[in-house]
Chain A
Amino acid sequence: MRSPAERIAFTLNGAAADVHTPPATRLSDLLRDTLGLTGTKIGCNAGDCGACTVLLDGRQVCACLVPAGQVAGRAVTTVEGLAEQGRLSALQQAFADQGAAQCGICTPGMLMAAADLLARNPTPDEPAVLDALGGVLCRCTGYRKIVEAVLSLGRNERLPVDAAPVAGAAVGARLPHPDAEAIVTGAHRFGADALPESAFLTLRAVRSPHPHARFGIGDLAPLHARFPGLVRVLTAADVPGQNLFGIYPTGKDQPALAPGLVRMRGEAVVALVGDAETVAAIRDEDVPITWEVLPPVTFEDARAGLGPDLHAHAPGNVLCRGRVKTGDAEAALVASPHRASVSVETGFVEHAYIEPEAGYARRVGERIEIVACTQTPYMDRDELALILGILQAQVRVIPTATGGGFGGKLDLSVQPLVAIAAWLLGQPVRCVYTRPESMASTTKRHPSRITAEAACDADGKLTAYRFHGDFNTGAYASWGPTVANRVPVHATGPYTIPNVLNTSAALHTTDTPAGAFRGFGVPQAAIAHEALMDMLAERCGLDPLAFRLANAIRPGDATPTGQVLRHAVGMADCLEALAPRWMELRAEAEAFNRAEKGASRRGAGVACMWYGIGNTSMSNPSDMTLGLARDGTLTLYCGAMDIGQGSKTIMAQIAADALGVPVAALRVTTADTDLTRDAGKTSASRQTFVSGNAAKAAGEDLRRRLLALANAGPDARLVPTPGGIVIDDGRRSVIPDLVRLAADPHGDVLVGEGRFDPPTTALDADGRGIPYAAYAFAAQVALVEVDTALGTVRPLRILAAHDVGRAVNPIQVEGQIHGGIAQGLGLALMEEFFPGRNENLHDYLIPTIGDIPPIEVTLVEDPDPLGPFGAKGIGEPALIATAPAILGAVHHATGVRLTRAPATPDRVRAALLAAGAAR
């Protein structure tokens, strides 16, 4: 029972508010549910994320921790109250202009914390900004652009943006995101902000507390009798179609609701559907479930071949293996003068997007509509059709804004549950995951156990590489096969090596499923290859950067799969770009250490990475259309899901330049499986390269059609004007009569169509072939300070040089790099998820604003002939080199090489003590 409602009067955004609510209600719920102000976000309901930050009497507080009763007679300011007379405040404008918001879920909280600071201290310095914003987490931006935006206000300067580039100049412009204004005003609607228009039911899953167990469900009648608001309890028997889903067409192995057996903690067992208060009030213990607990299968068990098979199709719990072989690694290792080997261990890493999964489904006649956050609307559609046993055409997926994904929102979460419930009950059904539920039940980065060996000749030229990685893919396949296939292709790093044997295995356990997470296993493998490069450089007496440069893959070289890279191989350029600063930082660190009397030691490390863009040896097409309506409106129907990485901006810039109009003339839709064509998933760093090419082709196609209509020459200028479009080829200027053309259901009279599927080939049994059409390259340098007495590692500076082909939007590219570095830093130093032990953002630590050092970005633009205007991808490449650079820096500082990630203070200290390097 809640406390009875009381009248509470307070001031809300300058106006009087008078509500009737139980006084123990969280202020965040009062604002969102009662007052409809959904600009205040909920990421954890526990004070840990700061997404709900509002001002109470001018001071920042977490609205999720403030009882409504405490606001009586006081003033509450939310993000909706920041704009002044309908105009963005200077603070909001700075965030919008400077890429301080990516997905935007943290932005309202950041803005409120910053507003509190600026009201008290209009000219803050950086430490003051960090202190004031330290209680708001951001998982996308790496914080640096947020810091810059707040500092710019104190300095009263506006940083450069290219608000309105002319026709043909959109690609390369520093353009703000089209959704930026909605984000900074709190109007952007995320999964939990979108509500069905009609009365809806709420769903809550009851989840397994055991990693492995059989269960039975008893008589539910007493539960219904006790909770009249409970409408339905769904079990596996209620799933209308196939109660299995999964990423690969042949690997569907995960039930929407467990059929009597659970293989992981957090697996959904039954779903309670009813009014919101009732489903929240029912405790898991109230539901009659009897458990027969089975022994878990740990990663160690699976590696040793112990334990029962969890899936009939995966004997020995081996989901799949991957392999790439060229030359004779064995022989070359033996024959080489310098040889090094390393074992690397990494744990589960949680995506920790600030938005927990949320959304609703509604049945519309014989169709189902899903409104939820996602990275992959089309795959969701196809999977939901199977689960409901209906046609794909009967499913419509309308993504909400997605508050971060990083791979974790590629798999289904709330969707099958709300879809089944809405389909059966005929009423809209909504579900919002709690933070612990999100962390317990959704995918993670694969834990790994890696052994690798490398060798070089007397001159420091790499001769051989051998690698094996076991990956814990958890209870269900998810993206396990992708990891197993991608890792062997990338495991050597971006170096030319004639003899290679890389193998991998994805193993099932009774842990949380590991799936897609920025890099698909490559970040784990990079820790191994970069440690080996450092070790071999040392053995040859070469500088670590020089050693890498000497071995960097270059145009004309063959990769271990036998693919000869002819163009756009900017690895050496990235290293060369960093070389001068690298020398400075190495020297600076060494000088510091000579002078230091205490326990601090500094070091600089360098790391390289490469990354194949798009799916590995698999078709992954994107389709885009660009429509021209009778009134001259240009609409890019963009199915490429923007999860904060900015594909909406990118696609518009590319399409506008391809068509030849100013980018401001384009309207860009968000993905909707009924309105937009399939642009694939937002993963594998593919959207800029693959969907960007489709957008370019759509722009070019519409241009051809327009020029044909006007019989104009190929270089004609297109000038959108109110009510039409002027086509001017220098000889004459034509305004085609669009009104006489037939319109399609969208109201478009001319439609440009574009499709792109990167050219790849299948890999043979030795992993030979062309897995990717393009590769991104990068080098990063980290400068760190190690407190050798405590084992703490503090990154002081990160340098990043990335070959992106072409930076379509430099603000966004920098933002991706910053955000990737922050996640790489987390992987290196603090992030490890233990199922059942740290399923919250209190105990699972991600970097805060105070943990991210200044970042210097250098963009290397070696245009890829296949990329749209030369562009490749950046999403995943951004984080891969960070962890190995930091671990290399720790080695430079202390002489100790950490190969267990994260290198938490206790592990660093233990390693220092073991090596006798502690003070």
Chain B
Amino acid sequence: MGSYLRPTSMPEALAALAAGPRIVLAGGTDYYPTRVGRPPEDDLLDITAIGALSGIVESDAGWRIGAAASWTDVIEAPLPPLFDGLKAAAREVGGVQIQNTGTIAGNLCNASPAADGIPNLLALDATVHLASAGGERAVPIAGFVLGNRRTARRGDEMVTAITIPRPRNPARSVFLKLGGRRYLVISIVMVGAVAEFAEDGTIATARLAVGACSAAAVRLPALEAALAGKRPDGALVTEAHLAPLAPIDDVRAPAAYRRDAALTLLRRAVEALR
């Protein structure tokens, strides 16, 4: 009970996970706040000393964000406009302290409906890489986040990286977040959008996802289809495109407002892709 492991290699980490249930700890920015007034007494696996998990690397196939990469790593990495949305999200997560320690992978694994990273990862068509003592597997992002704080990760697995494929065409991205104040705020609604452009300036493919409007952020396939072949124009977004959303009332906002604001943010996101 209450052991704390901080291995420096993957085999050690995976062996620890295989040996019994253990909470993976990265930046701790989701872990500690749920334990206010209580001593941390769980069995923990701190993954931040595993060199293989750090950093963001580019290859021909695309980009690999290590599980220990922080939001600040994203902000400071030299990345193409495809990542402007993720970078914008990184700058809006918490305050700089949270950005310096919180990880994208932690944001994903915590799977809050309001996680700012997830709509971007959906729009980026990311793949989640998992490892356990038994082997590795890759899961498309949409199949990884299953619901409010539910993921496809098994207890003996950990996320090792998130990869993002290199787009076939020039791509741009945006992220828009609506919150109740300027900094340190959990989103009421947020939108991540990526568009690849054909040579004539029309959208070749678009992927748009909305967060905090359903148990897990979702993409809007009908809207994506409607944008294909068009130039970015907010007027192309209609209320019918919001069908996949199922917002709820909570302390931050009522459901009806969320739906209404999502429409506005989507229109603005499309405009911003121009």
**A-to-B contact residues, CB < 8 Å:** 1-4, 6, 22-26, 44-48, 50, 53, 56, 59-62, 64-67, 69-70, 72, 113, 116, 130-132, 134-137, 277, 280-281, 434-437, 599, 789-792, 830, 834, 837-838, 840, 842-843, 845-851, 904-906, 909-910
CB-defined contacts of A790 to chain B, threshold 8 Å: 178, 261, 264-265
Known interface pairs A64-B32, A135-B98; A850-B46 also in contact (CB < 8 Å): no
A436 in contact with B96 (CB, 8 Å): no
CB-defined contacts of B4 to chain A, threshold 8 Å: 3, 6, 22-24, 67, 69
Question: Which stretch in B118-126, B130-138, B148-156, B251-259 binds the other chain?
Answer: B251-259
CB-defined contacts of B94 to chain A, threshold 8 Å: 47, 135
Does B100 count as interface, using CB distance less than 8 angstroms?
Answer: yes
CB-defined contacts of B29 to chain A, threshold 8 Å: 47, 62, 65
B251 in contact with A2 (CB, 8 Å): no
A67 in contact with B97 (CB, 8 Å): no
A46 in contact with B36 (CB, 8 Å): yes
B28 in contact with A67 (CB, 8 Å): yes
Complex: A574 Cα to B101 Cα, angstroms? 48
9 example contacts (A-B, Cβ-Cβ < 8 A) are as follows: A24-B4, A60-B96, A65-B28, A67-B4, A70-B46, A113-B95, A116-B96, A277-B39, A843-B186
B44's closest neighbor in chain A, by CB? Answer: A24
CB-defined contacts of B261 to chain A, threshold 8 Å: 790-791, 905, 909
Does B168 count as interface, using CB distance less than 8 angstroms?
Answer: no
Does B78 count as interface, using CB distance less than 8 angstroms?
Answer: no
Closest 4 interchain pairs by CB? A135-B95, A850-B182, A134-B183, A906-B257
A838 in contact with B251 (CB, 8 Å): yes
CB-defined contacts of A22 to chain B, threshold 8 Å: 2, 4
CB-defined contacts of A137 to chain B, threshold 8 Å: 184
Does B81 count as interface, using CB distance less than 8 angstroms?
Answer: no
Complex: A281 Cα to B37 Cα, angstroms? 9
Contact of A24 among B40, B97, B254 (CB under 8 A): B40
Contact of A848 among B1, B91, B182, B264 (CB under 8 A): B182
Complex: A849 Cα to B182 Cα, angstroms? 8
Does B58 count as interface, using CB distance less than 8 angstroms?
Answer: no
Does B260 count as interface, using CB distance less than 8 angstroms?
Answer: yes
A135 in contact with B36 (CB, 8 Å): no
Complex: A436 Cα to B35 Cα, angstroms? 11
CB-defined contacts of A132 to chain B, threshold 8 Å: 96
**Highest count of chain A CB atoms <10 Å: which of B28, B36, B184:** B184
B37's closest neighbor in chain A, by CB? Answer: A434
B181 in contact with A24 (CB, 8 Å): no
CB-defined contacts of A65 to chain B, threshold 8 Å: 27-29, 32-33, 97-98, 101
CB distance from A222 to the nearest CB of B (A): 21
Contact of B97 among A26, A50, A72, A909 (CB under 8 A): A50
A280 in contact with B96 (CB, 8 Å): no
A67 in contact with B40 (CB, 8 Å): yes
CB-defined contacts of B48 to chain A, threshold 8 Å: 70
Complex: A48 Cα to B98 Cα, angstroms? 9
B25 in contact with A67 (CB, 8 Å): yes
Does B199 count as interface, using CB distance less than 8 angstroms?
Answer: no
Complex: A906 Cα to B37 Cα, angstroms? 33
Complex: A845 Cα to B48 Cα, angstroms? 31
Contact of B2 among A24, A60, A280, A792 (CB under 8 A): A24
CB-defined contacts of B181 to chain A, threshold 8 Å: 830, 845-848, 850-851
Known interface pairs A2-B41, A66-B28, A67-B40; A135-B257 also in contact (CB < 8 Å): no
Does B188 count as interface, using CB distance less than 8 angstroms?
Answer: yes
Complex: A75 Cα to B33 Cα, angstroms? 24
Complex: A525 Cα to B95 Cα, angstroms? 35
B188's closest neighbor in chain A, by CB? Answer: A905
Known interface pairs A4-B3, A47-B33, A62-B97; A909-B257 also in contact (CB < 8 Å): yes
A434's closest neighbor in chain B, by CB? Answer: B37
CB distance from A666 to the nearest CB of B (A): 40
Does B180 count as interface, using CB distance less than 8 angstroms?
Answer: yes
B184 in contact with A134 (CB, 8 Å): yes
B180 in contact with A60 (CB, 8 Å): no
B39 in contact with A280 (CB, 8 Å): yes
A136 in contact with B32 (CB, 8 Å): no
B97 in contact with A69 (CB, 8 Å): no
Complex: A837 Cα to B91 Cα, angstroms? 28
CB distance from B274 to the nearest CB of A (A): 14
CB distance from A324 to the nearest CB of B (A): 37
A905 in contact with B264 (CB, 8 Å): no
Known interface pairs A23-B4, A67-B25; A62-B254 also in contact (CB < 8 Å): no
**Contact indicator per residue, chain B 14-39, by CB within 8 Å of chain A (1) or not (0):** 00000000000101110011001111
CB-defined contacts of A277 to chain B, threshold 8 Å: 39
B40's closest neighbor in chain A, by CB? Answer: A24
Does B163 count as interface, using CB distance less than 8 angstroms?
Answer: no
Does B160 count as interface, using CB distance less than 8 angstroms?
Answer: no
Within 217-270 of B, Cβ neighbours of A (below 8 Å) are at 251-254, 257, 260-261, 264-265
Complex: A837 Cα to B249 Cα, angstroms? 13
